[in-house]
Amino acid sequence: MAKVQLKAAVLELVEGDITVQDTEAIVNAANNSLLGGGGVDGAIHRAGGPEILAECRTLGGCATGDAKITTGGWLQARYVIHTVGPIYWQVGVRRAAELLASAHRRSLEVAAEHGVQSVAFPAISTGAYGYPMDQAAPVALQAVIDYLDAHEAAGIRLVRFVLRGRQAYEAFARALSRLVEAPVQA
Ligand code: ADP
């Protein structure tokens, strides 16, 4: 686990499964339809049950870089925030970074609008959407750090990145070390 204190919030990295997190909200790396997919999206719908998909059907999809919220269904998390990251090879490196940052920012905005104080993110776009982990990690982390710096009063106290596998965790840990002075490794 790595952890860093940022103004009013804590930013954490853990290796694990996002569906079992005890944060108030977990973020889903969804697709534009919000009607379910593979990877982390499939895992969240399987663990959270049919209520999440039923609510997603009423939302009219989600633009890339935007985020929408539903119940957490059977999950421990009260909410699932569905965001859509870029398909890396379709948009070019620069636009991909903008859209990935936007997906993180919008997810935190939606969380704050619902009074959520703790949020867990997966490594958005790094699976089927092809974003190289080493490139996605600093973009994702910087977007969250920027949001927390600028919105201290928004009420978010914990952001946890839940990385599947050692390699993903280490990519985020390396990126975090470069972005902040002294992350605590444990
Ligand atoms: P995308 O389409 O945005 O690339 P994917 O679901 O294919 O989304 O993958 C995003 C990341 O989520 C990948 O790094 C994948 O290893 C990871 N992942 C898959 N299942 C889980 C899970 N249960 N918990 C946390 N991360 C997961």
Tell me the pLDDT tens digit for each residue of 67-116: 999 999 999 999 999 999 999 999 999 999 999 999 999 999 999 999 99
Ligand 1 atom nearest to 124, measured from its CA: 3
**From atom 3 of ligand 1, which residue's Cα is the shortest distance away?**
125
- Ligand 1, pocket residues at CB < 6 Å: 17-19, 29, 39-41, 43, 85, 122-129, 162, 164, 168
**From atom 19 of ligand 1, which residue's Cα is the shortest distance away?**
40
| Mean model confidence pLDDT for the chain | 96
Q: What's the CA gap between 180 and 147, in Å, rounded?
A: 15
